[in-house]
Amino acid sequence: MSVANAIHAVVPGRLICTSNTKPVGAGPVAHWIANELVVDPDDGLARTATFSTPVIVNAAGAWADEAAQRCGVRPLRIAPKRRTMVQLRVGRSGLRDLPLVDDTSGTFYFKGEGDSSVWLSPHDEIATDPCDAAPEEIDIATAIDRFESVVDWSIERVERSWAGLRSFARDRLPVYGFDAHAPGFFWCAGQGGFGIQTSPAAAKLAAALLLDQAPDAMVELIDPALFSPRRFSS
C-alpha cells in the first residue's frame, strides 16, 4: 500500500505531525518519518505505524506553528485570532438580499441572511491559542450594541452564534512555499480573513510552487517571493 493510501486509510484527509516526526537525510532528497499510534478502521486495534514522505504540506491553519514545531521546524509566529459571528432575528422583513454593510471605522459589519435575519460581527480579532473557537458573551453583546447604534430595527432574538480562528503571519500576508531551512516542509498558512476570497489563486500558486511547475495563467504575474516563508528567515 502506498504512503498516501496508508495515511488516508487511517486518518482521512490528514497527515498528523507528532512529536516523533523528523526529517531524515539532507537536501532535496530528504524524507520525513513519522511514528504514530493509529487505530485500524477494520478491527479497531491500535498499532504503531511508520510513514515516510519526501514532502509535508503544513496546512494546519491556527495550528500551523504547532505542526511545524512537532516536525522540528522553526515556527513562523503564525498568530490565530478569534472572529465572532451572530445571527439575529429582527423585527422587519425583506433582508435576504441586504448587501454587506461595513462600519466606516471597521468596528462591525452585517449582511442579510434570511427574510428577517442578519449575520453580524463585531469585527473582532482576539488573540488566542489554537483551539475549537467559541463565541464569548461580551463579544456578542458588543456586536449587538454597535448594530443597534445604526439601525432602528427591533432585535427579537439571537438565533445562533459561532466563532472561528483567522490566522495571520507577522506581515499579515499569507505564507506559501518551502521552508528556508527544512527541505521538503511546505507552508500553506496565514490566510487571515481572506482565505475564501483568495483560495482560487492561492491554490494555483501553491500548487505550482509545491510541484515545481509553471504557474497557471491566473497567477503568472504574481511574485511568489511576496508570500514565501523565506521572507522571515533573516
In the chain, the domains with their CATH numbers are: 3-78+171-232 (3.50.50.60), 83-168 (3.30.9.10)
Give the pLDDT confidence score for residue 49 in this predicted structure: 65
Top-confidence residue, 21 or 155: 155
- Region 144-160: what's the mean pLDDT? 97
Q: How far is CA 89 from CA 12, 104, 175, 204, in A?
A: 38, 24, 38, 39
CA 211 to chain centre: 21
Interval 173-193: pLDDT, tens: 999 999 999 988 999 999 998
Sorting pLDDT into bands at 50, 70 and 90, what band is 117? Answer: very high
Give the tens place of pLDDT for each residue, 158-168: 999 999 999 99
Mean pLDDT score across all residues of the chain = 85
% of the chain beyond a pLDDT of 90: 68
Please report which confidence band the pLDDT of residue 196 belongs to, taking 50, 70 and 90 as the band edges: confident
Reported pTM: 0.80
Of 55-59, 80-84, 224-228, minimum mean pLDDT range: 55-59
